[in-house]
Amino acid sequence: MALVSGIEGAIFTWLPYYALTIMDGAIAPLALSAYVPGRYLYARVIGSMPYLRLAILTTVLAVPALAAAVWTTSTVGLLVAAFLTGLLLSALFPLLSAYGVELAPAYSGPVSSLATAATYGGIAVVPTVMGVVAEQYSISEAMWIPVGLAVVLTLVVWQMGSASSGREHAAT
C-alpha cells in the first residue's frame, strides 16, 4: 500500500507541475482526470476476476503508460499517457485493500489499519523525496521516481500472485 499511495501521491502532487513544462497551464489539470472514471470502472468489474490477477494486469500496463507520460514532450502524448496511467493505477488501492481483507477476514480491522498507515507513509515520503530531487536536479528527473516505484510494485504484486497461486495449489 505504501508503494501504491507513494505513486499516487507523486502523481497528484507533481504531475500537474511537470505538465506545465510541456503544456499550457489551463489544460495541465486534465492530466489527472482519469482517477474518477477509473475507480468507477473498477468498482463495476472488481467481482469479475480475482483481485490479484486484475492488480497484476493493471500494474504491468501502468508501467509503460507512466513512463510514456514522463518521456513524451507533446501535450497530446502527455495527456493520453497520463489518462491511461490514472485509469490503470486507480484500481490498485481498492483492489489491494479488498485483497488484504479477503486474505485475513478475521483481522479486517488491523489489516485496514496497517493499510491506512502504509498509505499515509507512502503519500508523505515519495512526494517529499521527489521535491528534493526536483530541487537538486529537475522535475523531469524526479518524475522517473514513480516509474521506478511502479516497476517495484509490479514485481511485488506479481510475487503476491505467485505466492497466492502456490497456496491455492497446496490447498487442493
Confidence of residue 172 (pLDDT cuts 50, 70, 90): very low
User: CA torsion angle for 136, 143, 13, 4 (degrees, to 10)?
Assistant: -120
At 83-115, the pLDDT tens digits run: 899 888 888 888 888 888 888 889 888 888 888
DSSP secondary structure code for residue 27 in this structure = T
Ranges of each domain in the chain: 2-171
At residue 171 the predicted structure's pLDDT band, cuts being 50, 70 and 90, is very low
Q: And the C-alpha cell for 53?
A: 490477477
Distance CA 71, CA 84 (A): 14
pTM (2 d.p.) = 0.86
User: Distances in Å between the alpha carbon of 87 and those of 19, 21, 66, 170?
Assistant: 17, 23, 11, 35
CATH number of 2-171: 1.20.1250.20
